[in-house]
Amino acid sequence: MIYFDHNATTALDERVLEEMLPFLGQLHGNPSGLYRLARVSRSAIETARERIAQLINAQPEHIIFTSGGTEANNLALKSGLIKSHLMTSEIEHPSILESLPESALKKTLIGVGTDGIISFQEISDAADFDFASFMLANNETGAIQDIKKITQLAKNRAALIHTDAVQALGKISIDFQDLGVDLMSISSHKIYGPKGCGALISKHKSLMTALMTGGGQEQGMRAGTENVAAIVGFGKAAELARLELEERQEHSFKLREYLERQLHGIPAIKIFSEFVPRLPNTAQIGIQGCIGEMLLMQLDQQNIAVSSGSACASNEEASSHVLAAMRIDPELAQSAIRVSLGKNNTLEEIDVFVQKLKQIIAKNR
């Protein structure tokens, strides 16, 4: 099978599985316990915290483990940090757009250009916001936002800034300190770690109210017995992502260049956000005269997995809210498929994909 949907999820790395297995077996201690078996679990969690902190240059004590990126985004928005005016963008993931809290009396949705880049002008025109949430990289187009520039502006207004870095993690270098953000969401299953595990990095834990209350785990920020094996896996995946980041980036970039060079030979094809900073593994492609969902199904029959826009949203949405925000012609938006490459893809797979895609387009047009 040819798997080109790594922005939806990634397969567990075998090295990650190996580190997780003991914690699904003999090492079953509750990390809150005081005896040796429990302390082994506690120490494994702390090692994972340090590995993740190293990947993003954050302080380990700022990391709150959650059940994934969705919970991290919910915690960022609903833990009481927003006092009056929340600013976010039209292209955020549904776990932001569907989670805007009541506490935000005013909510401003910032638009994007046709290139998928958030309008800095609109942000600077909205003077009085106290909390902003902008994604570092978009899950559909891969467009990378200039979060550092936005943060500098937010600091002048004494506002807090959160970034959803779920898609950027492991694909580009991320420096929490240098970005200057207050909060950041990340997720394990996008970097060859297990599903159902993620984290919110927060400099302001003392100002936050937990969503889950109970036994006081994660320094009171997220009660519930920790998912030790998943956290261990997330930590190992983060370590591998740090050590292999450059290699993975170069590999993705080389494959995508090869793919896009061939795609440009097909008439009436558009690559969205092509000329702005973009995740090296992502190509969202509009194919005039076709329907994305149909292409997806026909590629599936050929054992090739791609997505039509965001996988999480594709059951519900007729077409992508991201492409709509970019004011892409609705017909072209409907034709979009997203190819997101991973560390184990090959040039030969790209050749097979392009050959099959050409045949399918010819049949559909």
Ligand X SMILES: Cc1ncc(COP(=O)(O)O)c(C=O)c1O
- Residues engaged in binding ligand X (CB under 6 A): 68-70, 73, 93, 95, 135, 139, 164, 166-167, 187, 189, 198, 312
Instruction: Provide the pairing of β-strand 85-89 with 282-287.
Output: unpaired
What one-character-per-residue DSSP string does 84-111 give?
Answer: SEEEEETTS-HHHHT---TT-SEEEEE-
Q: For 361, left (φ over 0), alpha (ψ -120 to 50), or beta?
A: alpha
Tokens linked to 66? 């959650």
Kindly state the tokens that stand for 323: 């492409």
Q: What dihedral do alpha carbons 13, 340, 312, 320 form, nearest 10°?
A: 170
What residues contact 243, with CB distance under 8 A and at least 6 apart?
none
CB of 164 vs ligand X, minimal distance in Å: 5
Q: Residue 188 Cβ, how far from ligand X at the closest point, in Å?
A: 7
Q: Which is nearer to ligand X, 236 or 298 (CB)?
A: 236
Report the nearest approach of ligand X to the CB of residue 219 (Å): 22
Toward ligand X, which CB reaches closer, 76 or 350?
76
CB of 336 to ligand X, least distance (A): 16
Task: Given the residues 312, 324, 352, 354, select the one marked as catalytic.
Answer: 312
Assign 267 to helix, strand or coil: coil
Distance CA 38, CA 30 (A): 5
Nearer CB in complex with ligand X: 156/315: 315
Helix intervals (H) in 57-197: 69-78, 94-97, 120-125, 147-156, 176-179
In the bound state with ligand X, the residue whose beta carbon lies nearer, of 133 and 298, is 133
Query: What is the distance of C-alpha 225 from the center of its chain?
Result: 25
The closest residue (CB) to ligand X is 69
For residues 29 and 342, which CB has a smaller minimum distance to ligand X in the complex? Answer: 342
Respond yes or no: is residue 312 known to be catalytic: yes
Distance CA 123, CA 87 (A): 8
- Least distance in angstroms from the C-beta of 30 to ligand X: 24
Nearer to ligand X, 301 or 315 (CB): 315
Tell which residue, 281, 348, 356, has the closest CA to residue 5: 281
Q: How many CB atoms lie within 10 A of CB 20?
A: 24
The distance of closest approach from Cβ of residue 350 to ligand X in the complex, given in angstroms and rounded to an integer, is 23
Active-site residues, by number, are: 312
